[in-house]
Amino acid sequence: MNNKTTLIVPVILAGGAGTRLWPMSREAYPKQFLTFGTTSSLLQKTWLRIADIADIAPIIVANEEHRFIVSEQMREIGVSPSALILEPIGRNTAPALAVAALKARESGVDPVLLVLPSDHGIVDSSAFLDAVKKAQAAAEAGKLVTFGIKPSRPETGYGYIKYAGGNDIQQVQQFVEKPDFPRAQAYFKDSSYLWNSGIFLFKVSTLLDEMQLFQPDILSVCTKALTNSKTDLDFIRRDRTTFEQCPSLSIDYAVMEKTENASVLCVDVGWSDLGSWDSLGEILSPDHDGNFTSGNVTTQDCTNTLVFGESRLLVTIGLSDTLVIDTPDALLVANKSRSQQIKQVVESLKSAQKPEALEHTKVYRPWGTYELISKGEKFVVKKISVKPGASLSMQKHLHRSEHWIVVAGEAQVTVDGSQRNLQANESTYIPVGVKHRLANNTKDPLELIEIQSGDYLSEDDIVRFDDNYGRSHNNV
């Protein structure tokens, strides 16, 4: 514990689709869960950089669809969130922070909340911690502090904050929406404008008082949704019917632009919201030709390129200012200056019902992962990986049969009430309509190949009878 009069409680916002970093980032596995060639994901780094000043484990607000990914990534770094609050539907940052503040108030104290988007990059963690400590007194005194970033270029993708200038905490004079390029150029030349980072520091009571003043409808709905929430394993599920009635507003628009207590601290921490592939270069270390590569990549006579590969060898020759992002099922090649258009492309892919817009070939489940290897009209081949001590649900399929072939580890297989263990190179068959279960009761990972065959092979062909993770029959 730190010797402070007020506790610091981190609130990590782990929602968002991250479509601008497609094809690596997709709705089912957005950018906050990616490592981008490093050892930790953006979500994990968000906690690790502030762990030394936090008084308790973080409150995390996440989409319901990502609950097991968040839980697993926190487990990997030895963190059990003080609360993992699930959003049944996205309603922007104001409702998310209202619920987090209400949850933090249940402890009986009035802590300072450090609000952190999980999908941002910060290069200088030490400078960021110093900035938080510097802003704490103002937050304890009732200010809603935001952290502003000195612009390094004219940027149309960020909101701006106008203030009096300097490196001390200042009153916010104006919040400015994302500008067009001529205005962005003017803001860049004017030292009184900062980028809006979306990082905040304020007391629970301050935020809730301001919410009551400016957004009583949001606060009322969030209070009711939290009161009617249900605890499921380690998750807090807000009542969907209630939460759907909540207005969708950002905390900036809902409170910060209206309050008289908005303050800003200018910081130089190497920040980026990683809103495009081009911006990723702000937190990465390129080679002497300005190239950044990750994976099995060889470059020749290239300058200012960003090349990511996940599996096969990539060779680039004579490229400049180019993005090459290769995943098992999608390849992106684009001029770096056009990276903002990726979001539009993803929307087109969604409209065309392309599965590549939403999911990777590797899909994460609470018990492990499955990865698509091959697919035909009446068959699907997958690689199944089951974590030690985990098991799939007791289930049956109405339209497909399955063959399981163990590659590594030991599988406990239940088929039609009969149970046996399979070692590597052993297999079993599950007919259509037969109850079955797969479990890994060992301390080692289990890997197997699954071959599905039938006339209907979608993931919703499943009827669950028993599940360790609280999933319904249509929740894969």
Using one digit for the tens of pLDDT, what is the confidence trace for 217-254?
A: 999 999 999 999 988 878 998 888 999 999 999 999 99
Separation CA 318–CA 156 (nearest Å): 30
The arithmetic mean of pLDDT across residues 460-476, rounded, is 78
Last residue of a domain, one of 297, 313, 346: 346
Q: Does the pLDDT of residue 4 top 70, yes or no?
A: no
Long-range contacts of 209-216 (CB under 8 A, 24+ apart): 210/144, 210/255, 210/258, 210/259, 210/261, 211/94, 211/98, 211/101, 211/254, 211/255, 213/259, 214/254, 214/255, 214/258, 214/259, 215/94, 215/98, 215/247, 215/249, 215/254, 215/255
- Whether residues 95 and 122 share a domain: the answer is yes
pLDDT score of 1: 40
pLDDT score of 320: 97
pLDDT score of 24: 94
pLDDT tens readout for residues 270-287: 999 998 888 887 778 889
- Whether residues 192 and 217 share a domain: the answer is yes
pLDDT score of 186: 96
Backbone φ and ψ of 39, nearest 5°: -90, -20
- Whether residues 142 and 241 share a domain: the answer is yes
- Is 355 inside a domain boundary? no
More confident residue, 447 or 108: 447
Q: Does the pLDDT of residue 75 top 70, yes or no?
A: yes
- Whether residues 312 and 216 share a domain: the answer is no
- Whether residues 143 and 26 share a domain: the answer is yes
pLDDT score of 472: 64
CB atoms within 10 A of CB 310: 17
- Is 262 inside a domain boundary? yes
- Is 443 inside a domain boundary? yes
- Is 97 inside a domain boundary? yes
The one-letter code for the residue type at 312 is R
Residue among 366, 429, 364, 437 nearest 395 (CA): 437
More confident residue, 3 or 86: 86
Separation CA 265–CA 184 (nearest Å): 20
- CA max distance for the chain: 74
- Whether residues 136 and 260 share a domain: the answer is yes
pLDDT tens readout for residues 170-197: 999 999 989 999 999 999 999 999 999 9
- Is 281 inside a domain boundary? no
Question: Alpha carbon of 133 to those of 49, 50, 144, 256, 429: distances in Å?
Answer: 14, 11, 14, 21, 60
- Whether residues 334 and 461 share a domain: the answer is no
Residue-range definition of the domain harbouring residue 429: 362-466
Residues 300, 303, 305, CA angle at the centre, nearest 5°?
95
The arithmetic mean of pLDDT across residues 441-454, rounded, is 97
- Is 280 inside a domain boundary? no
